[in-house]
Structure 1
Amino acid sequence: MASPESNSVIDVMVCLATVTPPRLVNVQVPAQATVADAVHASGLLNGLDLAIETCRLGVYGKRKTPDAALHARDRVEILGPLIADPKTARRRRVQKVRATGTREGLKWLRNEAPPKDDVLE
């Protein structure tokens, strides 16, 4: 039977995914540790202009809060803040395609007749 001391520490991997290539660090934290505890134990944010409050955190790609509990062999991921709003970026891409006059861009325009070179049968 395992002793209580062996269960008091768990192994966790912390990944900093804001730089290329990502940096991975294995840390040992107490069994009751949170995501924030693992990030602090890894020391990956030291020397960077990132804070836990501004970063998005996750465990195996699922978004988690800093006070979420960890399990043995979890991978905590530190993602930087969003640079651009995804909705705004998509609108800009659509506007750019529409402005070029391509068939794909014209498909998005509402209430507009198809181009004259289309064959309708």
Structure 2
Amino acid sequence: MGIEIEVVYALPDEQVVIPVNVEPAATIQDAIRLSGILERFPEIVLEDRMVGIFGRCMALDHPVQAHDRVEIYRPLHASPADARRMRAEARRRRRAGK
């Protein structure tokens, strides 16, 4: 008997959630491959992506448990520190324009 999990991939304008039934000994990689998401989004090169469960980064060989939410993360275009600086600069520009 399998276990139910979800595989999730978030795009800027869409969140794809795919329910998957996997064997109890399945790994994150097994779940992602069984979901069919790699065929739907061929730009995902699994070995180059960070993956996790409920927002916590995990290795591809980490076993999944019932009701896990397996997430495939997109690469960051800016570091968190750079993103904060850009937001702060945008706020300063908006305030100066008022």
After TM superposition, is the score higher than 0.5? yes
Q: Find the residue that maps to 1:88 and give its secondary structure.
A: helix
RMSD: 2.2
Is residue 79 from structure 1 mapped to residue 73 from structure 2 by the alignment? yes
> % of aligned pairs identical?
33
Q: Find the residue that maps to 2:47 and give its secondary structure.
A: coil
The runs of at least 4 aligned residues of structure 1 exceeding 6 Å deviation read none
The structure whose RCO (Cα within 8 Å, separation 6+) is larger is 2
Counterparts of 1:88-103 in structure 2, within 5 Å, are 88-94=82-88
Q: Which runs of 5+ in 2 are unaligned?
A: none
Higher relative strand content: 2
Which protein has the larger Cα radius of gyration, Structure 1 or Structure 2?
Answer: 1
Q: Specify the alignment match of 2:35 in structure 1.
A: 42
Is residue 24 from structure 1 mapped to residue 30 from structure 2 by the alignment? no
Q: Find the residue that maps to 1:83 and give its secondary structure.
A: coil
- TM-score, with length taken from structure 1: 0.65
In 2, distance between residues paired with 1:31 and 1:19? 32
Q: Which runs of 5+ in 1 are unaligned?
A: 1-5, 103-121
Deviations 1:60-115 (A, max 9, x none): 122211111111111111111112122223334455667x5x7xxxxxxxxxxxxx
Alignment CA distance shift 1:18-1:55 (3 Å): farther
